[in-house]
Structure formats: C-alpha cells, structure tokens
C-alpha cells in the first residue's frame, strides 16, 4: 500500500469556540438610586421651566404648556441618553449601571429598545394612575401595582422590571 500525501492546509486559520460574555446584573439599590437621581434632575429642570413660563405668560395655558414640555423633555432625555451614552442616564452613570439589550448585552441600545422601554414604563404608570382615579379602592390598587412595578427586580431572576421585560432590556453594572 502506498503512502498518501498529507492533506492540504485548511483555509481561514484556527477555529476558536465563542464563550459568552459574563455580565453582572445591577442590584435593586443601584437602580433605585439612579431612578431617584434622574427624577430629581428632571424635577429641577421641570420646576424651572414651569415657573419660568408662568412668570412670562402668567396664565394657566402657559403652565399647562410647561408641563407638556417637561413630559416631552423627560422622554427625550431618557431615550436620548440611553441610546447616545452607552445605555446610561446621569443617574445611571452616578450609580455605575447601564441599560442593554437582553439578547445582546455587549452591543448598544437602539432607538427602538430605548423608546420601547420608556413607552412601557410610561404606559404602566398611566394605567396605574387611571386605576388610582377610580376612588379610594382604586387608589390603593394603583399604589400596590406601582409598588410591584418598581420592586419586581428584587425577586426576578434577571432583576427586570415589567417595562424591562416588555422592551427586552436588562440593567447591568457598567
């Protein structure tokens, strides 16, 4: 039997197995701290805008317009910071956390995910406010639902709120 020549060299170089990246999920206290810091920032700007418009216009219409500007500004702040700042708002930067896509945490957070997350949080909040408007019993139920929304990460395996689940995001240590 004749000796066979060795096989030709393979193309493309060595093959490496891909190990998934490991991320540390953000704890509830860091998330709560970031939420409070962002809320204080938005409130400070909001109060300045509303009082400024009230001083200039002096009418209820100016104040209502100011409230609208603050709501839209808060939405633009939250989504814009998440997309353009590595998934971090000012509060999240201060507490060392960031929001990422649950399916690809190493990538950035796109506009769709950022708006989806903000929209889900806004929708849950508005829904709970509508329940609260239904009288004393409704106010208690609305309060319990709001409490559940923000406490949910304490017992969730991925530390997600309902709006994280709806948008497909997780919050990790930066």
**Helix locations, 13-59, DSSP H:** 28-57
Assigned token pair, 151: 């406490």
Q: What is the pLDDT, as a whole number, of residue 28? A: 96
**Alpha carbon of residue 173 to chain centroid:** 13
Domain regions of the chain by residue span:
28-173
Q: What is the pLDDT of residue 13?
A: 54
pLDDT beneath 70: ranges in the chain: 1-2, 7-21, 58
For residue 10, the model assigns a pLDDT of: 60
Question: Which pLDDT score is estimated for 52?
Answer: 83
Q: Mean pLDDT, the chain, as a whole number? A: 86
Determine the pLDDT at residue 64: 82
Question: What does the block give as tokens for 14?
Answer: 């060595």
* Residues 42-57: tens digit of each pLDDT: 999 988 888 888 788 7
């Amino acid at each position: 039997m004749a000796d066979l020549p060795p096989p030709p060299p393979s193309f493309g170089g060595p093959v490496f197995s891909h190990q998934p990246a490991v991320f540390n999920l953000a704890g509830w206290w860091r998330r709560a701290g970031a939420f409070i810091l962002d809320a204080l920032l938005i409130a400070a700007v909001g109060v300045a805008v509303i009082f400024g418009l009230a001083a200039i216009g002096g009418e209820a219409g100016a104040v209502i317009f100011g409230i609208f500007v603050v709501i839209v500004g808060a939405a633009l702040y939250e989504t814009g910071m998440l997309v353009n700042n590595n998934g971090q708002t000012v509060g999240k930067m201060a507490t060392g956390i960031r929001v990422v896509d649950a399916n690809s945490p190493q990538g950035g957070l796109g506009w769709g995910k950022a708006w989806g997350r903000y929209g889900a949080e806004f929708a849950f909040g508005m829904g709970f406010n509508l329940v609260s408007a239904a009288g004393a019993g409704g106010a208690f139920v609305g309060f319990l639902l709001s409490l559940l929304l923000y406490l949910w990460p304490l017992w969730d395996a991925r530390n997600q709120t309902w709006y994280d689940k709806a948008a497909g995001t997780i919050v990790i240590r930066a």
